[in-house]
């Protein structure tokens, strides 16, 4: 199973709590989509190549990555529609 990096718990995410920058929020969300998409591809390759034999943990890793991509896409949708 992959070690999901908590993108939203990163220093940039913590700084965005105080700065409330829309551009920083969108940047973090785009990076999260890219990173977790790479995790999905990595997990799928490990299953295809036979390196992952425990399908429960493989499924859980893919599910968590998909959830994080969906969460980042929701954040992008909310951030893009936010006007001040």
Residue with the two structure tokens 């965005």: 16
The stretch 5-21 carries a mean pLDDT of 64
Three-state secondary structure call for residue 47: helix
pLDDT at 8: 54
Judge contact between 72 and 43, C-beta under 8 A: no
Question: Which residue ranges make up each domain of the chain?
Answer: 30-84
Q: Tokens for 67?
A: 């959830």
Q: pTM (2 decimals)?
A: 0.72
CA distance 70 to 6: 14
CA distance 43 to 58: 7
pLDDT at 9: 58
Name residues whose C-beta falls within 8 Å of residue 12's C-beta, 6 or more positions apart in sequence: 24, 27, 28
pLDDT at 28: 83
């Amino acid at each position: 199973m992959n070690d999901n990096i908590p993108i939203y718990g990163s220093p940039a995410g913590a700084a965005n709590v105080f700065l409330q920058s829309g551009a920083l929020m969108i940047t973090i969300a785009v990076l999260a989509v890219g990173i977790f998409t790479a995790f999905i591809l990595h997990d799928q390759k490990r299953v295809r190549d036979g390196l992952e034999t425990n399908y429960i943990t493989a499924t859980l890793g893919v599910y968590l990555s998909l959830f994080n991509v969906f969460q980042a896409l929701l954040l992008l949708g909310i951030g893009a529609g936010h006007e001040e």
